[in-house]
């Protein structure tokens, strides 16, 4: 029989395995002169959402000052606001995504000074898995034209829903609860962020703010904090983040109604589209803008896009120590397979690491075996 004084010290270090799933350690920081080093540029026209945009390469982005780091050390991603276009042309803009993918047990924090806005403008800070849209998408920030609310959403295969019961606590307003990309033209399950400092001119006037996205074992939660209200746990960029200190999220998509297997490891993405299926939808466009989305804006005065830019202080990614492979860079594809042709970053092979709740199940099993072995020795 093992002495009790020996067993207790052995068990104490294991207690966090059963309870701690809200502490995240810093994994990667994208900031300063090296901000763009680990991102791929979508070097093509918008062939996914019918936008009037050409997403430029890293080389064009740098030469045309559409993707660069300014004198303040902040990353700028913007729409071309100097070129007068002819009828039928698309306007240059930027879409980038991380080489790394982020799975269960990861968290990402974006500290921004300015987000794009204006008629015809469709910016987003979001993530998706390689087999989009079937393998899941998380929208942390999405906004079109001059709409009164930003939005957060999930897009998945059929079977995932947003829990709209009173027990699911969040501050945003539910717009739709079916997350399936087959429902209502891929609307997704949408929560509106009614904080006027979370988008558009209000965001800029407030000095920007911080978006936090947690891909945790209990589900996916999204927070926004305006500059003057950033909590202490987020202010030390090199320290751990405890999500229990963040308060009630703006949007919460619990695993109880959306199994996390619907969301595969995600590439983080920033882009600014123009018009397209959302901002350019005639009904949506007419709610806050006049004229024609394409004729009056895309090929209209270039100065229309003076406010169509992201200014980003940093993007930091974190992982739960219990999920050491939550954030990984996928390996190159087999040489017999053709790599996707439209990205200039790392090829997007399926990522290794934790899928769904498998990793957590293994941890629980190991803990149970060890615990039973120790208690059997006490008997």
**Active-site residues: which are they?**
137, 142
Q: Which one-letter DSSP state was computed for residue 357?
A: T
Determine phi and psi for 80, rounding to 5 degrees: -60, 120
Contacts of 248 (CB under 8 A, 6+ apart): 169, 170, 171
CA 2 to chain centre: 49
Q: Which one-letter DSSP state was computed for residue 214?
A: E
- The percent of the chain in helix, strand and coil, each rounded to the nearest 5, is 25, 30, 45
CA separation for the pair 135, 29 (Å, rounded):
26
CA separation for the pair 104, 359 (Å, rounded):
9
Q: Could you give the C-alpha distances from 158 to 80, 112, 180, 186, in angstroms and in order?
A: 38, 33, 4, 11
Token pair recorded at residue 97: 């995504």
DSSP for 224-252, written as a single string: EEEGGG--HHHHSTTS-EEGGGS-S-SEE
Q: Could you give the C-alpha distances from 348 to 3, 153, 338, 351, in angstroms and in order?
A: 53, 23, 11, 8
How do strand 91-93 and strand 53-55 relate by DSSP bridges?
Answer: parallel
Q: For residue 371, what is the enclosing H or E element?
A: helix 358-378
Contacts of 23 (CB under 8 A, 6+ apart): 240, 241, 242, 320, 321
Determine phi and psi for 9, rounding to 5 degrees: -60, -30
Token pair recorded at residue 165: 């019961």
103 contacts 351 by C-beta, under 8 angstroms: yes
Q: Can you list the positions of beta strands (E) in 59-118?
A: 67-69, 75-78, 91-93, 95-98, 101-102, 106-114
């Amino acid at each position: 029989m093992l002495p009790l004084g020996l067993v207790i010290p052995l068990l104490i270090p294991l207690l966090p395995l059963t309870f701690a799933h809200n502490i995240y350690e810093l994994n990667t920081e994208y900031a300063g002169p090296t901000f763009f080093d680990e991102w791929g540029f979508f070097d093509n026209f918008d062939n996914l959402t019918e936008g009037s945009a050409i997403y430029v390469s890293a080389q064009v982005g740098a030469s045309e000052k559409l993707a660069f780091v300014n004198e303040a050390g902040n990353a700028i991603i913007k729409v071309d606001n100097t070129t007068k276009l002819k009828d039928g042309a698309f306007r240059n803009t930027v879409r980038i995504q991380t080489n790394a993918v982020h799975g269960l047990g990861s968290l990402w924090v974006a500290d921004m000074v300015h987000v794009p806005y204006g008629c015809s403008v469709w910016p987003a800070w979001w993530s998706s898995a390689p087999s989009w849209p079937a393998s899941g998408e998380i929208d942390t920030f999405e906004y079109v034209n001059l709409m009164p609310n930003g939005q957060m959403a999930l897009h998945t295969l059929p079977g995932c829903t947003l829990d709209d019961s009173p027990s699911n606590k969040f501050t945003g307003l539910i717009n739709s609860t079916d997350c399936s990309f087959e429902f209502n033209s891929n609307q997704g399950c949408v929560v509106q962020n009614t904080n006027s400092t979370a988008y558009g001119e209000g965001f800029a006037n407030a000095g920007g703010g911080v978006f936090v996205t947690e891909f945790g074992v209990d589900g996916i939660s999204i927070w926004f904090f305006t500059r003057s209200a950033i909590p202490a746990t987020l202010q030390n960029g090199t320290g751990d983040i405890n999500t229990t200190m963040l308060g009630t999220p703006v949007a919460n998509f619990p695993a109880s109604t959306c199994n996390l297997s619907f969301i595969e490891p995600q590439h983080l993405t920033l882009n600014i589209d123009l018009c397209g299926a959302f901002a350019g939808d005639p009904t949506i466009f007419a709610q806050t803008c006049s004229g024609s989305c394409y004729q009056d804006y895309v090929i209209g005065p270039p100065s229309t896009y003076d406010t169509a830019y992201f200014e980003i202080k940093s993007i930091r990614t974190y992982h739960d120590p219990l999920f050491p492979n939550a954030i990984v860079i996928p390996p190159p594809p087999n040489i017999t397979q053709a790599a996707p042709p439209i990205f200039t970053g790392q090829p997007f092979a399926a990522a290794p690491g934790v899928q769904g709740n498998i990793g957590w199940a293994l941890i629980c099993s190991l803990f149970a075996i060890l615990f039973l072995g120790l208690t059997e020795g006490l008997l």
